[in-house]
């Protein structure tokens, strides 16, 4: 079970027992943010920095998120992409594509 506490005015700190618990909490949070943003603004924008975060987001393509996330309203941006080919082992784009973007129709990402 995750432990959490307030960190002054800066927000909440959460500590998880394992990666599975972290991943579940993370995708719950992202799915909730996505839903709220789509309701409020009609779109959801996310900036991916790469690394292990991208791999954890792969759960967004699994039940129940695969039925609730409106991918057609998503805009994905890169904030820390390396200067390598998109199919290079160090490419954050490659990580994201393998983890979850390839499981979503690219035509529905940002098509609104």
Write the pLDDT tens digit of every residue in 69-87.
998 899 988 887 778 888 9
Sign of the torsion angle spanned by Cα atoms 71, 83, 79, 98: positive
Asked, for residue 68, whether it belongs to a domain, the answer is yes
Predicted pLDDT at 107:
43
Q: In 3D, which of 45, 69, 56, 44 has the Cα closest to residue 96?
A: 56
Cβ–Cβ under 8 Å, residues 72 and 102: no
Name the residue range of residue 46's domain: 18-100
Residues of the chain with pLDDT > 70, as a percent, come to: 85
Q: In 3D, which of 26, 27, 44 has the Cα closest to residue 35?
A: 44
Asked, for residue 76, whether it belongs to a domain, the answer is yes
Number of domains in the chain: 1
Predicted pLDDT at 52:
84
Asked, for residue 72, whether it belongs to a domain, the answer is yes
The span from the CA of 59 to the CA of 31, in Å, is 10
Residue 48 phi/psi, 5° resolution? -100, 130
Q: CATH no. for residue 45?
A: 3.40.50.1360
Asked, for residue 41, whether it belongs to a domain, the answer is yes
Asked, for residue 38, whether it belongs to a domain, the answer is yes
Please tell me the pTM assigned to this model. Answer: 0.78
Tell me what the mean pLDDT of segment 39-52 comes to. 90
The span from the CA of 76 to the CA of 54, in Å, is 12
The number of beta carbons lying within 10 Å of the beta carbon of residue 15 is 10
Asked, for residue 5, whether it belongs to a domain, the answer is no
Asked, for residue 109, whether it belongs to a domain, the answer is no
Asked, for residue 42, whether it belongs to a domain, the answer is yes
């Amino acid at each position: 079970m995750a432990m959490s506490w307030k960190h002054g005015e800066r927000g909440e700190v959460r500590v998880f027992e394992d990666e599975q618990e972290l991943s579940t909490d993370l995708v719950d949070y992202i799915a909730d943010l996505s839903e709220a943003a789509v309701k409020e603004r009609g779109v959801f924008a996310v900036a991916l920095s790469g690394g292990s975060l991208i791999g954890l987001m792969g759960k967004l393509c699994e039940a129940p998120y695969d039925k609730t996330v409106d991918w057609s309203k998503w805009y994905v941006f890169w904030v820390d992409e390396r200067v390598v080919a998109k199919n290079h082992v160090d490419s954050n784009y490659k990580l994201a594509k393998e983890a979850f973007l390839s499981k979503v129709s690219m035509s529905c990402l940002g098509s609104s």
